[in-house]
Amino acid sequence: MDSQTSQPSQASPSPHTFQVDLRGLVDLLSHHLYSSPKVYLRELLQNAVDAITARRAEQPDAPAAVRLYAEGGTLRVEDSGVGLTESDVHSLLATIGRSSKRNDGLESARSDFLGQFGIGLLACFVVAERIRVVSLSARTPDAVPVEWTAADDGSYTVRTLPREARAEPGTTVHLVARAGAGEWLSPERVRTLARDFGALLPYDVRVGDEPVADLPAPWDRPYPSPAGRRVALARHCRELFGFTPLDSIDLDVPLAGVRGVAYVLPTAVSPAQRASHRVHLKGMLLTERAEQLLPDWAFFVRCVLDTDSLRPTASRESLYEDETLAAVREALGERIRSWLTGLAANDPERLAAFLSVHHLGVKSLARHDPEMLRTMLPWLPFETSDGRLSLEEFAQRHPVVHFTRTVEEYRQVAPIASAQGVGVVNGGYTYDSELVEALPAVRPGTAVSELDADTVTAHLDTVDPAEELALAGFLAAARSRLDPLNCDVVLRAFHPLSVPALHLDDRAARHEQARAEAEEQADDLWAGILGSLRGSTPRARLVLNHLNPLIRRISSLGDPELIGTATESLYGQALLMAQRPLRPADSALLNRAFIGLLEWATHTDPGKDDRR
């Protein structure tokens, strides 16, 4: 190679090690990773339980005890676990992110452990200014106790202790509270937190001499009778969630590694409200706010369970969204679905009580599950023109199941349709129209039809042509007055007689009406664009009842102005009866008609006054 073109060799840069500001890291943990300082105690319990699990993997008969002693702003936690050697202390306690579960060939057995991220002990700095660990390894016969002392400024010391400093294998952690955090290390707070986090731990955990664990879990205990079990679980629900459940559902899914119970809420809740559930991981409370544990439709239950198959996030305060969680969610949903079908088959009274509160949740499930819809069809309540009925009962009464898509449309037509013998279901509530449309799939032969203004009008009796011709002047005056409102006037005869007028429109008519109003208020550019969107849909219509005495009297008036005022009054009254929201133009019309009628009623003939 030409020496003039050769490049000088470059020496490889030497690697550097990341430097960690422990104070900044503790601030990160306390304000961003962990939701509350209370997690420090869970991390201490978790480390102790994992150490015992590791020792028992090699020595099945080893003791399994954890003791907590809180006094004067200090806390001491002792365990009979596997312990640490001096090299373990340097490698594990002083290296952030390294977990003992990744060492000593235990990687394949990590599912037996609670902690997997190697940051647990740092959580103690959230409440402590100093941590002292004394440990004796159970794996090394001639091991001596080792002491690791760390401060929240990032410094630590390690030294070996005389053999008599700790006679039995295991670890003791000493905490000294930081300024302002002494309350977290008080005996009462430690006892409360230990009970909350460790109630289902499989080992002998005590605060002083007081046991923490309460095993077996309430759902696994034997009871003298089913009624006794229901009472005990109801008491457990009140203690955990603060309500007395309508019922309880066992969540025993062995293949998913799940055991627990779901409690049915006694009051209705919004489907949009995120449900929070309590999840224990191998006995340790992981979170009280697990939101993704159940399918969205199961918003009517709150559950508590213990699992050994789900993965926690780094903070161990929520669940990692993966295929395992998706499978568990599906399995738990299937258990709740089976409970519902069981009630339908064996306990109709309890099912009726449940549906009176939570029919919305069941409808949410049934719209995606034909089998559930078929099972619940005789029980799910719907608002209909025949009263509150199930779709099964309603379909038996009517050859065609008509439904509306909005509550407003239903209120317009239900009284009239009922009087004409037309059955109508109010599909305006959440999920109802979808379920009505799914009816033929689970009940073959059922005819379902959306009810619109044309269908209602077609079921009303027409007026004799000669009579309608005689009222041509009246109808012309009425139509002229409502034409600016994009509303036609139709004369029909229908029951009940007490209804003088019926306002009918559909979504297409309302859409066209909104477009026309926007076009009137828009500038030239937008008016042109909106004008090009003009539809050919039918306009709204005011159906006058020829059988009603008031309509007969108005139709006999000879004054076109008075007919127009009366027509506007009928239009406004029909809107109010349908409980439709009033547009500004409608409100102005009602006010104008009211004033006009008052003026007419108080009008005085001057000639009559003179004759007096």
pLDDT at 88: 82
**Mean pLDDT lowest for which of 233-237, 302-306, 559-563, 578-582?**
578-582
pLDDT at 461: 81
**Mean pLDDT lowest for which of 29-38, 68-77, 404-413?**
29-38
Please check the confidence at residue 503 and state whether its pLDDT lies above 80. yes
CA distance 441 to 237: 39
Band the pLDDT of 558: cuts 50, 70, 90: confident
> Is the model more confident about 203 or about 102?
203
pLDDT at 453: 67
For the segment 181-199, the average pLDDT, to the nearest whole number, is 93
Element (H, E) at 449: strand 447-450
Q: Which amino acid is present at 553?
A: R
pLDDT at 36: 77
**Structure-block tokens of residue 514:** 């909104």
The closest alpha carbon to 115, from 48, 60, 200, 192, belongs to: 48
| DSSP 8-state code for residue 319 | B
Q: Checking DSSP bridges between strand 210-211 and strand 204-207, what pairing results, if any?
A: antiparallel
Q: What is the mean pLDDT of the chain?
A: 81
pLDDT at 103: 47
pLDDT at 145: 93
pLDDT at 256: 76
pLDDT at 109: 35
For the segment 439-456, the average pLDDT, to the nearest whole number, is 84
For the segment 37-49, the average pLDDT, to the nearest whole number, is 89
> Is the model more confident about 418 or about 77?
77
CA distance 517 to 586: 12
CA distance 381 to 431: 12
296 contacts: CB under 8 Å, gap ≥ 6: 271, 364
**Mean pLDDT lowest for which of 28-37, 123-132, 291-300, 309-318?**
28-37
pLDDT at 524: 58
pLDDT at 197: 93
For the segment 308-312, the average pLDDT, to the nearest whole number, is 80
Max mean pLDDT among 117-121, 373-377, 404-408, 426-430 falls in 426-430
CA distance 358 to 360: 5
pLDDT at 402: 92
